[in-house]
Chains A and B, each alone.
Chain A
Amino acid sequence: MPQQKKIHYPLGYWQKITLSIWLIALVILPFADIEISSFDPFIELSRMLDGLMTPDFLATEYLFQAIIQTINFAILGVFLGLVLGAPFALIYQHPIVSSCCAFLRAIHEIFWALLFLQIFGLSPITGILAITIPFAATFARVFHDIIIQSSESPLESIDSRADIISRFTYGKIAQVMPQMMAYTRYRFECALRSSAVLGFIGMPTLGFYMETAFRQGNYSEGSALLIIFIALIGTIRYWCPAKLLGVYLVIACLTLVDTPAVDSSLLIRFISQDILPPALKNITTLAEVQWSSLSSWFTAILWYQAIPGIIATITLALVALAATHLVTLNVHVLASKHLWPTPLTWLGQLTLLIGRSVPEYILAFIFLMLLGPSMLPAIIALAIHNGCVIAYLAVKQSNTIAPPQMQMSKLNQFNYHIMPDIYPNMMALMFYRFEIIVRETAVFGILGIMTLGFYIDSNFSEIRYSNALVLITCTALLNVAIDILSRRLLKLPQNSQTSC
């Protein structure tokens, strides 16, 4: 009697990866704080939905100024970021330049703003610099990648007697200009989001009025501001064509709110006194340094703030990664033209637009109002925003795939033809976004979730700048480490054009 041989069918690469993401998330879930601590989330939810149905566009007193300031910060931030960052793209291969840029990039706009807030106060300089610095570091890196990936052959065909500037502009810059323009346009959208979010720490942008409205329970006003913000991002290409950028730049400079004079004594005091650890204040020579008190100060921060903060940040980020995966898979189905008739896919596209336009920070804030302070609002916010971003890109890719010449149902076709095609790219995008998830997770601390940002924010409000600075450095190093690790482990494609 012939014995049936047991057929061994091992798991595929992406199956293993997917399974491990979910296993990790399930293992650490018991340690994550996901309790719903709000008394009755449904009353709040129904009031919010009510507000969404009855948006009140006239409730905000300084609405027009808020929109203008949001745009101004974004335009000036991107412009200065370009001016400062683009030259570094040419020398980015130098390890010192690239590691400095990685460090600057790893500190979130909000942390930069918290720092500058201590020096410049609520001046526009704070908002603009907070966008400029991380954006400059990102431009340097991405432009460098773009230039490296461009073709060498035009440069080879240029007469070698020509000077280097002419050869480089005609042979390289002219070649990659469209890509650099497209990336700058995309970053402008990111800058608008960042600019709005800066309102949450007091800058006079849309976020400021949004936070006030939501905190006071004026949901009609809040939803109106949210709608305006989504519309602003969704229509960038109509109100900000490349040709008008110069005009907008001039307008931005003219309509900037009055910049108070920078108090230089404040700046000097901040650098020479405030940011020094207690053990180093008021000393004149190195001999006076009390090394034991310095080291106990440092260990205390590390032990009671940095390490718990880092653990919470990573826990939250890993659970959020699995949740993002779930949202991506479900949401991208909504807008696929392979499954639905065209009018329905528009509805799906609108869902994706709303999901990716609202910054994670604002989403987290709204869910925090609903569910009370725990990791849950942050997980939901990260999953919705990142899931929609990845789904948007996945739909873009899947819609270009031609349906197979075979008789099968739409669902079968989707599962057997479309999904296998786009899944690897989808996963790569998701791992790329993991770095962004970690960065964003740290910032959620400001909303009261116990990640690194929570400790940073508390230290700022207790005027312990030295502690805050140590923690910000820890956050940046954590981001840099995760970036290096994920690149090594997953051998991701080197381009970072989907970063935000």
Chain B
Amino acid sequence: MITIDNLNLHYDKTAGYNTDKKETSTQVIFDLSLTINEGEKVAIIGPSGAGKSSLLHHIYKQLQASAALCSQRQGLVDNLSIYHNIFMGALARHHWLFNLVNLIRPFKQELSNIATLCQQLELEQPLTKKVDKLSGGQRQRVTLARALYQQQALFIGDEPFSALDPLMASRLLETILKRHKTVIMVMHDRELAMSAFDRVIALDKGYLVIDSQQQSINQQKITALYQTSAVA
């Protein structure tokens, strides 16, 4: 599906995105090689600042045509309702005229689809509620719902459960894994990453340090990774 060979990434702190310009930026990924096959469920872990998000966005750029992205920069439109924010995932499936009419008067079919989706994501809020009235965890689930509503085969997520409690996180993760053939996700909860994914990749200071299948994950090695980084 995707093969990365000797990747070097630079991150422009002032502009806030990956760049090729080397003067104003710092290198965040060093000589990284990686292959991800279709059907794999891959978790990316590592201490903060390890380059996880940069790598993930690089992967997304390559696979954009068939991927749904759930980014940390949620990009919700505060002024729109939960329904419309989630519907934004489906914009590409419809004609613009359909989308415009839907903005004024929601279609019944879409309403019931999105209501079901919200139920699955345990988002029990009226669909007409504006998203600026929601809590952090609820906003995160709206973002998640919007990515799910894109109905793509590949799901790319950047810590999509960071504001949720661990139990809910594992329930929602199950839903995501069930609905997508391939999943690539940055996880902050490494226990959950190791138990739910086929393959775990660990980054440290821009280097790929662990790449292992679930059966052969070395618990101690991962624990050590977080400890040394915390000291440094």
Residues of A within 8 A of B (CB): 151, 153-163, 165-167, 169-171, 174-175, 177-178
Please tell me if the beta carbons of A161 and B92 are within 8 angstroms of each other in the complex. yes
Interface residue B154 (Cβ < 8 Å from any Cβ of A): no
Known contacts A159-B89, A162-B92; decide if A175 and B77 are in contact (CB<8 Å): yes
Chain B interface residue number, banded? 20 to 34
Known contacts A153-B73, A153-B75, A158-B91; decide if A170 and B96 are in contact (CB<8 Å): no
Give the one of A153, A162, A163, A167 with max B CB within 10 A: A162
Which positions 68-109 of chain B face chain A at CB distance < 8 Å? 68-69, 71, 73-80, 84, 88-89, 91-92, 94-96, 99-100, 103
Please tell me if the beta carbons of B103 and A169 are within 8 angstroms of each other in the complex. yes
Contact of A153 among B65, B74, B146 (CB under 8 A): B74
Give the one of B65, B91, B146 with max A CB within 10 A: B91
Interface residue B212 (Cβ < 8 Å from any Cβ of A): no
Please tell me if the beta carbons of A178 and B79 are within 8 angstroms of each other in the complex. yes
Residues from chain A with Cβ under 8 Å of B53 in the complex: none
Which positions 26-76 of chain B face chain A at CB distance < 8 Å? 64-65, 68-69, 71, 73-76
Closest CB of chain B to A246's CB: distance in Å? 13
Q: How far is the CA of A352 from the CA of B169 in the complex (A)?
A: 55
Please tell me if the beta carbons of A162 and B91 are within 8 angstroms of each other in the complex. yes
Interface residue B182 (Cβ < 8 Å from any Cβ of A): no
Known contacts A166-B94, A170-B80; decide if A156 and B99 are in contact (CB<8 Å): no
Please tell me if the beta carbons of B91 and A160 are within 8 angstroms of each other in the complex. no
Q: How far is the CA of A73 from the CA of B94 in the complex (A)?
A: 41
Q: How far is the CA of A174 from the CA of B95 in the complex (A)?
A: 18
Closest CB of chain A to B158's CB: distance in Å? 11
Give the one of A155, A159, A165, A170 with max B CB within 10 A: A159
Interface residue B140 (Cβ < 8 Å from any Cβ of A): no
Name the residue on B nearest A178 (C-beta): B79
Q: How far is the CA of A162 from the CA of B149 in the complex (A)?
A: 14
Please tell me if the beta carbons of A166 and B91 are within 8 angstroms of each other in the complex. yes
Interface residue B150 (Cβ < 8 Å from any Cβ of A): yes
Contact of A166 among B65, B73, B77, B99 (CB under 8 A): B99
Contact of A154 among B69, B75, B95, B103 (CB under 8 A): B75
Known contacts A160-B64, A174-B80; decide if A165 and B75 are in contact (CB<8 Å): no
Residues from chain B with Cβ under 8 Å of A175 in the complex: 77-80
Q: Is the interface of A mostly helix, strand, loop or mixed?
A: helix
Residues from chain A with Cβ under 8 Å of B99 in the complex: 162, 165-166, 169-170
28 A-B contact pairs sorted by A residue (CB < 8 Å): A154-B75, A154-B76, A154-B77, A155-B75, A157-B75, A157-B88, A158-B75, A158-B88, A158-B91, A159-B68, A159-B89, A159-B91, A160-B64, A162-B91, A165-B99, A166-B92, A166-B99, A167-B91, A170-B77, A170-B84, A170-B88, A170-B103, A171-B77, A174-B77, A174-B80, A174-B103, A175-B79, A177-B79
Name the residue on B nearest A171 (C-beta): B77
Please tell me if the beta carbons of A169 and B100 are within 8 angstroms of each other in the complex. yes
Please tell me if the beta carbons of A157 and B91 are within 8 angstroms of each other in the complex. no
Closest CB of chain B to A106's CB: distance in Å? 33
Please tell me if the beta carbons of B100 and A165 are within 8 angstroms of each other in the complex. yes
Q: How far is the CA of A165 from the CA of B84 in the complex (A)?
A: 15
Q: How far is the CA of A170 from the CA of B89 in the complex (A)?
A: 11
Residues from chain B with Cβ under 8 Å of A151 in the complex: 75
Closest CB of chain B to A48's CB: distance in Å? 48
Residues from chain B with Cβ under 8 Å of A161 in the complex: 65, 92
Beyond contacts A157-B73, A175-B78: 10 other A-B pairs, Cβ-Cβ < 8 A, are A156-B71, A157-B75, A158-B75, A163-B96, A166-B94, A166-B99, A170-B88, A170-B99, A174-B79, A177-B79
Name the residue on B nearest A156 (C-beta): B75
Closest CB of chain A to B196's CB: distance in Å? 25
Q: How far is the CA of A153 from the CA of B88 in the complex (A)?
A: 13
The 7 closest A-B pairs by CB, nearest first: A157-B75, A162-B91, A153-B75, A161-B92, A162-B92, A165-B96, A166-B99
Q: How far is the CA of A120 from the CA of B65 in the complex (A)?
A: 58
Residues from chain B with Cβ under 8 Å of A165 in the complex: 96, 99-100
Closest CB of chain A to B129's CB: distance in Å? 15
Please tell me if the beta carbons of B73 and A156 are within 8 angstroms of each other in the complex. yes
Residues from chain A with Cβ under 8 Å of B78 in the complex: 175
Contact of B71 among A157, A160, A162, A167 (CB under 8 A): A157
Residues from chain B with Cβ under 8 Å of A160 in the complex: 64
Q: How far is the CA of A161 from the CA of B96 in the complex (A)?
A: 12
Q: How far is the CA of A89 from the CA of B117 in the complex (A)?
A: 37
Residues from chain A with Cβ under 8 Å of B68 in the complex: 159
Residues from chain A with Cβ under 8 Å of B103 in the complex: 169-170, 174
Residues from chain A with Cβ under 8 Å of B80 in the complex: 170, 174-175
Q: How far is the CA of A35 from the CA of B60 in the complex (A)?
A: 74
Contact of B96 among A153, A158, A166, A171 (CB under 8 A): A166
Closest CB of chain A to B227's CB: distance in Å? 35
Name the residue on A nearest B80 (C-beta): A174
Name the residue on B nearest A175 (C-beta): B77
Q: How far is the CA of A49 from the CA of B160 in the complex (A)?
A: 69
